Chain A
Amino acid sequence: MPFIPHTAADTRALLDAIGARRLDDLFEEIPAELRAKALTGIPDALNEMEIGRLMAERAAQDGRALSFIGAGAYEHHIPSAVWAIVTRGEFYSAYTPYQAEASQGTLQMIYEYQTMIASLTGLEVSNASLYDGASALAEAALMAVRANRKSKSARILVPCTVNPTYSRVARAIAGNQKLVFEQLPYCTAGGHTIVESLKRYEGQDITALVIQQPNFFGTLEDVDELTDWAHRQNALVIAVVNPTSLGILKAPGKWGGLGVDIACGEGQPLGVPLSSGGPYFGFMTTRMEHVRQMPGRIVGRTVDRDGKPGFTLTLQAREQHIRRGKATSNICTNQGLLMMAGTIYLALIGPAGLAQVASASVTRTHALVDALVSIKGVRTAFNRPRFHEAVLQLDRPAATVLSELAARDILGGYDLSEHFPELGSALLVCATETKTQSDIDAYARALGEVMKSARAA
């Protein structure tokens, strides 16, 4: 069977049979102003040879800079076995399957993924992945509104210390569905959210509180106190977590007296390369009591009629192909390969390996901060314990410093001035296990030169 179902002759025969002259005649009843027009501003198509050349040139422009940028996407070592397995033909589809009869191998892989992510976050049940960390937060907020039946307000409290891009995506996706996102201030000394600052919300109808750990600044939040505060207000708790950090930090399922209700985050640190920003994958877990409000697919293990173990899709009845407009979500597929990379990565490095990656990243970041703050005009912004990122304040404009470092082939960090102008000239820096002491020394040397040349000027 040819891949394209209709030849020009087939189309002609079909049109003749119904008495239409042209294909466009079939759409005539749609008013002209509602019809999609040709896209403008799009260059002509390139052939494979041309596009290959263009992309190779663009990739070369990136060079092989030493990167100290984190801010939500992290450079970690990826064992070569991860992508060797993911790109095998048997697995090679980006889609999480709809069909109950889907390949047992794919279903088993998703089941293993769910088991690992549920165990990592300390919660009972995981879905089969989401698009990315930012949309996972939006889905978690929508889910909290469905799950918290004591709350009518659809008010979600979001600390400023949550990744600002995530907050923006959550607003874009859920803002038109009557959800209200309210920002919470952070402590300017510690770079964290203070429980006392939530006092003014006590006694009000709050649907959920979001807590990011480690937060966007890399600072550790008082997760136990925040979780307990939210539960006292009958609000659910949504944790946004870095999966690598869970190798050494307390699982969200254990935060406070009861643990969080929903955990979500960005899966990229688990075996997915940075790739200029994507594709990545999101993850989400929850307690059994909320499982029917969770978006996406879930694979379960069962036995067939001969008593043999097998894997199958469960809880599909609330999905888009059955529940249509009332589905729990309409975005829950497509990240199959990336989810698989995360699963293989976790299986290869194991719990001890993940703890090592996390600890090494913390150690490298401390070494980086120590080296950088010894430079005149560079100091840390916050005094609280941190994971593998830190905010540095500079005596020179961050954008200038970054571009001078880039000229030395060093990506020196993330400029915070767009989202956090109150911090002045501030950089978010990160070092993972991929950075050696000589990488750190190279950065410190370059930054020293850049800061000194400014004073001389």
Chain B
Amino acid sequence: MSPQPFDEMRNADGSVRAHYRAFADWLDQTTPDRIAQKRGEAERAFYRVGITFAVYGEDAGTERLIPFDLVPRIIPADEWRTLEAGLKQRVRTLNLFLHDIYHDQAILKAGVVPTERVLGNAQYRREMAGMSVPGGIYAHIAGVDVVRAGAGEYYVLEDNLRVPSGVSYMLENRKMMMRLFPELFANRLIRPVQHYPDLLLENLRAVAPAGEERPTVAVLTPGAYNSAYFEHAFLAQQMGVELVEGIDLFVQNDTVFMRTTRGPQRVHVIYRRVDDDYLDPLAFRKDSMLGVPGLFSAYRAGRVTLANAIGTGVADDKSIYPYVPDMVRFYLAEEPILNNVPTFMLYRPQEREHVLANLSDLVVKEVHGAGGYGMLIGPTASKAEIEAFRARIAAAPEKYIAQPTLALSTCPTFVDAGVAPRHIDLRPYVLSGTDVDLVPGGLTRVALREGSLVVNSSQGGGTKDTWVLAE
């Protein structure tokens, strides 16, 4: 892996890459004034539409915009073809893996994945063992984080199989770009993504309990104070289904009902945006005010489908991640299309020794961490930070993995001083139900601070529209 980041727009000699040429010409011809005016317009529109997220730990009700950058991330058709095939292959595999570990455990018996990594994992839900879910699908919605390193090769950084968020930004960013710069879309070369809610609804309906002709789907949210509330409401509205909170639902005879102005109405499929632990105070955390008492019992009885299924966290755990390429080979007898980032498992003494000796070159992550918290980025960390991590690793090595520092690709981005390269990643959303499918694109996140590799919105990241070009 080269330390020089890959520039999405320009070749090493500074010339513009073929798939960015039309955009670069447009950018040259557009005055800075118009750009500035459009940036202001975008910001006001995002506020008005309410695409804000709540920030935890600040004043209650603090709402912020995720900064939106006007320079799109463009993916040429041939690259997308590979990405798409690789993502489908990966999500298909992860669903097979989840079904397997909650049933026959063939992959553990074959020794491809160590048994204790799976069964000893806090995210493995014993309650799910032996239980069948419609279509054998566990991760109906997967948000797979993909990055591009020095030579332009793609890597999967993370598989998010619990309640991945951000798809509403993908949709709103596109809407915003079309509103601000309709001329860019006039040549019809940019593939549309706006059918995502239809595709999602179709997939959710496909996994309803058997025998339901017209299943009722609902989106379950923790409520208006959740940081991703905008997205929950947005998706429910776009699909034309009810947005429910725990208090709107009740369970009778293993059947889930919503309280409506016309009396109880049965719910067949719940797209839940509430974590496993909070779903049902009778089955999981007793102090949960967000869940529905009896929901798990109804789920076990096959009377309601939860998307995603309970217990998917074991498959996107960072301690399981290194085994995904072997899973592809095991279940599909295919070679993995997408690369995994080489990963050191710190519970293995040899790898740990190597990592501890090279902390300043590596990225160390907590196995259960998310959102860019609990990470050490060696090359930019201070000595004190490195030493603090060394102590934490020594105390509980099984809680950490380490990876080489990837020089994430950069994309031109509007910053105070003009346009400058900033690091980006990509999260496409892969849907499973009828089949495995995804819309061409995803959410591109950008680290707005110069040199920063952390794209998370909670850590000062922004977003961009993502264009997949037609063939």
Do A and B actually bind?
no
**Residues on A facing B (Cβ under 8 Å):** none
